[in-house]
Amino acid sequence: MEQARPPIITILGHVDHGKTTLLDYIRKTSVAAKEHGGITQHIGAYQITHNSKPITFIDTPGHAAFEKMRSRGAKVADIAILVVAADDGVMPQTSEAIKHIQEAKVPLVVAVNKIDLPGINIKVQMEKIKKQLSDRDVKLEEYGGDTPLVPISAKTGEGVDKLLETIELVAELHELKADPQAQVAGVVIEAMLDKFKGPVATILVRNGTLNKGDQIMLGGIKGKIRGMFDFNMKAITEAGPSTPVEILGLEAVPSVGAKLGEEPKEMEKAQVQSLVDKLKQGENKTLKLVIKADKQGSLEAIQAGLEKHNDERRVVEFKFLGTGDIVEDNVKLASSTGSIVIGFNIKVLPAAQKLADTDHVLIRTYLIIYELLEEMEEVIEGLIKVGQVEEVLGKAKIIAEFPHGKERIAGSRIVEGSIAKGQRIRVVREDTIIGETKLKSLRKVKEEVNKVEKGNDCGMLFEPQLDFQIGDTVESFRVI
Ligand code: GDP
């Protein structure tokens, strides 16, 4: 039987307009967290009771998460609160948020925040903001539309109660219903890999009831719910509609926006497939990457996440790591080295995209690190499966050459691993493979040896002879 369910609220708006402060204020004043020892751990959402009615808040403000969910077809929020600072008015991210909300067709409540700020003329600012909103097709109640506007101060709390009442009214108007007995439906709003707990995901249950012990499929990832916690980290055994819960027991970390019961998306599979295909066509079977990220911290996290695949064999090679948008130079480098360009939380400049299109360079951008890692992991696994992954066993620099009858000996210094007779050998100049060959002779000082280790010099005679030159690199490798 369908019954009323609590509304799920998301808060959007320009940076520094007070989203976090508002979420904190509402949580502090309306959540009975002390019952559980006062520990309020962040799980990505919380529930309050206002006038004895529950309201669920998604605790991660920002468009990225909202857009991510929407792009995966996941409708999570029932109502969006658009926070606009009274002093600043509508700013670029406010406009962006309005666009997202309108496209997602989510009912909107405007909260004009920071009305406590001294030195602002509230009346003038209010009129300005209303005009800015109308210009962006937000139909305010005052002008006969259906969008309420509530002046608030997230700092002093003024107007927040009115805002919550308004939310209740909008929720009632939309008659939000769900059936606790129905097949369970839910969306991931946060997920991560915990060092101790393993994959952890916060799910917002949309319909039905999630029970501890349930076997689930979440965005293509299997799991059995080993543990379930409410937003106060209190262990629970069941979670009905509009309840945020943290669950343990998944086999891997799912993506934000992943749905309960969802198999891996066909589209995503196809994208990964084409990545693998592209690599298979290339000469070198390592995944070469040019990576651009918003900040150094993200870059390091991405590098560390990918580097771990190089434990046993070299599958990932970083051609460039840097911060900032993807520019033409990045694409040029990717084109000449056979790399893929990866962007995290950055833009692809139009000129760079154009060059990528003509040069057939693949650019992939992500907003969430573990989605990036997840997709790259699939590519790496794909490469391993097709037996196309190379392990470089040793590297040597050619530092001299000596004539030997009609042939030439490459005087080399081993700089990595070791090089041995019988291995597949190739000569590389910068990023170009000059050719593949074998060792006819390997000498350490004057003695013929089978293997030379890092730090030692040796003389190499190739068969077939290659047109090597001083400065080239000799690599020994095998295909796994
Ligand atoms: P967010 O980026 O939208 O999450 O913004 P924050 O919640 O971090 O707020 C940005 C700054 O504005 C912080 O310094 C807050 O203390 C301040 N702030 C937020 N709400 C109010 C308010 O209602 N009044 C005043 N005076 N300051 C506020």
Whether ligand 1 lies within 6 angstroms of the CB of 18 is answered as yes
Please report whether residue 257 resides in a domain. Answer: no
What letter does residue 130 receive in the DSSP assignment? H
Indicate the pLDDT class of residue 39, thresholds 50, 70 and 90.
very low
Atom of ligand 1 nearest to the CA of 83: 3
pLDDT at 130 over 60: yes
List b or e across 145-177, with b for residues whose CB sees 16 or more CB atoms inside 10 angstroms: eebbbbbbbbeeeebbbebbebbbebbeeeebe
pLDDT at 110 over 50: yes
CA of 445 to the centre of ligand 1 (A): 72
Considering only residues 264 and 328, tell me which one the structure prediction assigns the higher pLDDT.
Answer: 328
pLDDT at 413 over 80: yes
Indicate the pLDDT class of residue 117, thresholds 50, 70 and 90.
very high
Do residues 168 and 196 share a domain?
no
pLDDT at 37 over 70: no
Structure tokens at 25: 């204020």
pTM for the model stands at 0.60
CB 95 within 8 A of CB 122: no
Please report whether residue 112 resides in a domain. Answer: yes
Residue 411: what pLDDT?
96
Residue 387: what pLDDT?
53
H or E, element range at 24: helix 19-30
Do residues 136 and 194 share a domain?
no
Q: CA torsion sign, 137 to 143 to 145 to 148? A: positive
CATH number, domain containing residue 118: 3.40.50.300
Atom of ligand 1 nearest to the CA of 152: 23
Do residues 108 and 225 share a domain?
no
Do residues 337 and 354 share a domain?
yes
CB 33 within 8 A of CB 233: no
Mean pLDDT of 22-50: 73
β-strands 473-479, 390-404: how paired? antiparallel
pLDDT tens digits, 340-380: 899 998 988 888 988 887 877 888 888 888 888 888 887 88
Atom of ligand 1 nearest to the CA of 14: 3
Choosing from 128, 143, 176, the residue where a domain stops is: 176
Number of domains present in the structure of the chain: 4
Please report whether residue 260 resides in a domain. Answer: no
Do residues 367 and 435 share a domain?
no
CA of 19 to the centre of ligand 1 (A): 7
CA of 235 to the centre of ligand 1 (A): 33
Whether ligand 1 lies within 6 angstroms of the CB of 116 is answered as yes
Cα–Cα distances in Å, from 421 out to 33, 69, 108, 448? 68, 54, 71, 11
CB 94 within 8 A of CB 17: yes
Do residues 376 and 409 share a domain?
no
Please report whether residue 62 resides in a domain. Answer: yes
Whether ligand 1 lies within 6 angstroms of the CB of 20 is answered as yes
Residue 264: what pLDDT?
52
Choosing from 331, 351, 385, the residue where a domain stops is: 385
> At a CB cut-off of 8 Å and minimum separation 6, what does 145 contact?
138, 139
Structure tokens at 392: 């470089």
Indicate the pLDDT class of residue 38, thresholds 50, 70 and 90.
very low
Considering only residues 121 and 39, tell me which one the structure prediction assigns the higher pLDDT.
Answer: 121
CA of 114 to the centre of ligand 1 (A): 7
Mean pLDDT of 181-199: 87
Domain span at residue 198 reads: 185-250
Residue 180: what pLDDT?
94
Q: Rounded to an integer, what distance in angstroms lies between the CA atom of residue 78 and that of residue 69?
A: 13
Do residues 136 and 193 share a domain?
no
16: phi then psi, degrees, rounded to nearest 5 = 70, 10
Residue nearest to atom 19 of ligand 1 (CA): 18
Three-state DSSP class for residue 85: strand
Residue 263: what pLDDT?
60
Do residues 410 and 471 share a domain?
yes
pLDDT at 55 over 90: yes
Residue 274: what pLDDT?
58
pLDDT tens digits, 306-317: 988 776 667 888
* CA-closest candidate to residue 220, choices 190, 240, 194, 250: 250
pLDDT above 70 covers what percent of the chain?
87
Please report whether residue 255 resides in a domain. Answer: no
Whether ligand 1 lies within 6 angstroms of the CB of 17 is answered as yes
Neighbours of 387 (CB within 10 A): 9
Please state, rounded to an integer, the average pLDDT across all residues of the chain: 86
Please report whether residue 256 resides in a domain. Answer: no
Residue 267: what pLDDT?
41
pLDDT at 94 over 60: yes
Atom of ligand 1 nearest to the CA of 153: 23
pLDDT tens digits, 229-238: 998 888 999 9
Please confirm whether the linkage preceding 464 is cis (ω < 30° from 0): yes
- In the chain, what is the greatest distance between 2 CA atoms, to the nearest angstrom? 96
Residue 452: what pLDDT?
93
Residue 474: what pLDDT?
95
pLDDT at 41 over 80: no
Residue nearest to atom 20 of ligand 1 (CA): 18
pLDDT tens digits, 345-354: 898 888 898 8
Whether ligand 1 lies within 6 angstroms of the CB of 63 is answered as no
Pocket test for ligand 1, best of 15, 16, 84 (most atoms within 8 A of CB): 16
pLDDT tens digits, 201-216: 999 999 999 999 999 9
Residue 388: what pLDDT?
54
Whether ligand 1 lies within 6 angstroms of the CB of 15 is answered as yes
pLDDT at 244 over 90: yes
pLDDT at 443 over 90: yes
Whether ligand 1 lies within 6 angstroms of the CB of 161 is answered as no
Q: CA torsion sign, 262 to 263 to 269 to 272? A: positive
* CA-closest candidate to residue 331, choices 307, 306, 315, 348: 348
H or E, element range at 381: helix 369-385
CB 396 within 8 A of CB 414: yes
Whether ligand 1 lies within 6 angstroms of the CB of 70 is answered as no
Helix axes 266-281, 369-385, angle to 10 degrees: 50
